[in-house]
Amino acid sequence: MDTKTNPKGDHPLSTEEFANLNFVEPQTVIKRRCQTGTYHGVAARKLANGRLAWPNCQVLANREG
């Protein structure tokens, strides 16, 4: 994919879209990224306009119970 025409490349989702895909609030994603640099191991790409672009994936959580 040409990043000149699509600067998001392989990271097509906004923070809101990524959060919806993972059934959490966008602020949860932002907070986790600020604390650890990723959202449970998934890294975002920072765009030239300062926004984040996320890969199209769901995070599998370790649920202890």
pLDDT at 10: 85
Flag whether 39 is in a domain: yes
Flag whether 34 is in a domain: yes
Flag whether 32 is in a domain: yes
**Which residue segment(s) compose the domain that 46 sits in?**
15-53
DSSP three-state, residue 5? coil
Flag whether 65 is in a domain: no
How many domains are contained in the chain?
Answer: 1
Residue 2: partners with Cβ closer than 8 Å, 6 or more residues away? none
User: Can you read off the two tokens belonging to residue 51?
Assistant: 């926004």
Per-residue pLDDT tens for 11-54? 999 999 999 999 999 999 999 999 999 999 999 999 999 999 99
* Residue 8, pLDDT above cutoff 70: no
Flag whether 60 is in a domain: no
Flag whether 6 is in a domain: no
* Residue 64, pLDDT above cutoff 60: no
Buried b (16+ CB within 10 A) or exposed e, 15-24: beebbeebee
pLDDT at 1: 45
Alpha-carbon distance of 10 to 12, in angstroms, equals 6
Flag whether 42 is in a domain: yes
